[in-house]
Structure 1
């Protein structure tokens, strides 16, 4: 089993920021600044932007790059000690990913995460060559998002290990899966990777106990998850377990699908940030009264984020 405390400089809770839209459908920079400030005030250990919860598939290339740049600028203003920011890039070409990584690095990103191109028939060898070409041109550490359940394509554990062997700068994994999957990946890779799980934190403590350095959940409960992480790292296992049991029903409700998370998780995040309204960029799942009632029930004890 890998030791999370020995897994390099990146660790803790890095919430994946939502793409928040104005009434006219454009990205709302003011709302994003408020989101960044609330997360930092809530005690997060870093920020992530550009992934599935950032609706990367609904943004143009320039919007994705703007979202990352705005986040980096807001984070630099909101914290006296710089909060590390991870930028996920989802361009479909090697050249596009290299350019996005370089722009993120120039803006101050601490590390970048590469999503695979949406070619489900691509072989592992093709994916290794794709990721390797981007990593070799990167000025910052590179991670891979391995989430075949959500993206539809990914690498086996053996493929990930071979990728790191050929390209050691690929040293971080956002490996979405169960605690069992994380534990086996940590053992098989022998500490080659700094591991993060996603899945909105539903595997938070199992992930930390079995090889993860941190998690990349949503924004909506990132303050609670950060406290749980801190309790765990302080050796207060019973307190961490107790706090996790209290938040788990909410996390479980939110993490049915990515579309479901974007519908209900974004509304909870907006409420906790203090935004008056959520504007979806369609097509999008619409909230249902029953869903909102369930959300309200399990989030009833959560106040303003960061206060």
Structure 2
């Protein structure tokens, strides 16, 4: 069996999903957000990552969010923009089912979290068995999602990920652990044409590029697609000095977003700065207060948002 192809290098956004006053998917606002991201120059959109509140949505809602994303991109001239589906679940069977549904809804790749409900049973051997079983049955190539914060502290090491990378249908990883050393071990071991290694946070975007990272899949791209695209373009042009100037702002901006309150903070900032959606999140998450959003006025994030609106 030949090796499946990874997603191309570039800027990917784990898109937030918007909810209306009835706690249902707000399709018009989701479309508006996807279109702004695409116009901002992103390479691809991750639907139902952690920022998309995947674990709080039904299968039907997850498929609807995926279809809405693919249809919005296609209808507006962005047919080449990649759609990746988060397909994490707590059983092998359901994860495979989500991968199949993701293909039907228009995704080209699946990003798979390791299960964590039965933590004592999630040995290295069992994690490898799980990801291989999913990849065996998934109709689209899979990627390993390493995010200890949402997997009860499970943090896959580079040896585990490199072992999984030998599977013909496992084609990449998102390292939301932010470990550049781990990323470098993988990029210096595995060919980029077969296995894409993405950092999962903008604060290590350029450091990851320096050691062979494939780009970024970062939450802050929800706010700053043009800024990230500009940085990446500068990097590809060899203008490292100017790229590092933007990175110096991003390392502060990314931290501020995390401090404000994650998903709810992202949505609240989008509403204030770009005029659509609301800060609604699905429980047990809670929305971020307006006071926290207003406190951004004198921060590095405010400077980045001004750059975004000025088209860099």
Taking structure 2 as the reference length, the TM-score comes to 0.87
Deviates more, 1:15-24 or 1:239-248: 239-248
Higher relative contact order (CA 8 A, sep 6+): 1
The alignment partner of 2:23 has SS state of coil
After superposition, the Cα gap between the structure-2 partners of 1:77 and 1:306, relative to the gap in structure 1 and judged at 3 Å, is farther
Q: How does 1:48-67 map to 2 (within 5 A)?
A: 48-67=46-65
Aligned to 2:111: 113
Q: Label 1:30 to 1:290 Cα distance change in 2 as closer, same or farther (>3 A).
A: closer
| Match 2:77 to one of 46, 58, 79 | 79
Alignment partners' CA distance in 2, 1:180 and 1:294 = 34
Provide the residue aligned with 1:194 in structure 2. 196
* Gap change, CA 1:300 and 1:162, over 3 Å in 2: closer
Separation in 2 of the partners of 1:51 and 1:239?
30
Which one of 227, 231, 238 corresponds to residue 230 of structure 2?
A: 227
Q: 1:34 to 1:149 in 2, by over 3 A?
A: same
Q: Which runs of 5+ in 1 are unaligned?
A: 1-6
1:175 is aligned to: 175
Aligned to 1:148: 148
1:264–1:295 Cα contact (<8 Å) kept: no
What's 2:253 paired with?
A: 250
Deviation of 1:306 (Å): 9.8
Q: 1:187 to 1:71 in 2, by over 3 A?
A: same
| Matches of 2:15 and 2:72, distance apart in 1 | 12
Give distance in 2, aligned partners of 1:223 and 1:157.
Answer: 31
CA, structure 1 residues 300+253, in 2 after alignment: closer, same or farther (shift >3 Å)? closer
Structure 1 pair 96–8 and aligned structure 2 pair: CA distance change class (3 A): closer
- State the shift of 1:32 in Å: 0.5
SS at match of 2:215: strand
Q: Which residue of 1 aligns with 2:208?
A: 207
Distance 1:145 1:193 in 2: 13
Looking at structure 2, the residues matched to 212 and 255 of structure 1 have their Cα atoms a distance apart, in angstroms, of 22
Gaps of 5+ in 2: none
State the 1:113 CA deviation.
0.8
How far apart are 1:97 and its partner, in Å?
1.7
Q: CA offsets, 1:163-189, max 9 Å, x none?
A: 223x22212111122323322332354
CA distance, structure 2, for counterparts of residue 52 and residue 60 of structure 1: 14
- TM-score, normalised with respect to structure 1: 0.88
Are 2:141 and 1:138 aligned?
no
SS in 1 for 2:111: strand
What is the number of residues matched between the two proteins? 297
Quote the Cα distance in structure 2 between the aligned partners of 1:65 and 1:81.
18
CA distance in 2, matches of 1:288, 1:262: 13
Q: Which moved more, 1:178-187 or 1:27-36?
A: 178-187
For each residue in 1:128-151, what CA deviation from the matched residue of structure 2 results, as whole angstroms up to 9, or x when unmatched? 111111111222221010122442
Task: State the alpha-carbon separation in 2 of the partners of residues 124 and 130 from structure 1.
Answer: 10
Are the structure 2 counterparts of residues 150 and 295 from structure 1 closer, same or farther at C-alpha, using a change threshold of 3 Å?
A: farther
Partner of 1:21: 19
Larger deviation: 293-302 or 242-251?
293-302
Kept in 1, the 8 Å contact 2:85–2:111? The answer is: yes
Deviation, 1:8, is 5.3
Q: 1:289 to 1:220 in 2, by over 3 A?
A: same
Question: Does structure 2 retain, via aligned residues, the 8 Å contact 1:195–1:212?
Answer: yes
Deviation at 1:272, TM superposition (A): 4.0
Q: Distance in 2 between matches of 1:90 and 1:9?
A: 18
Report the CA distance shift for 1:250/1:266 in structure 2 as closer, same or farther (over 3 A). Answer: same
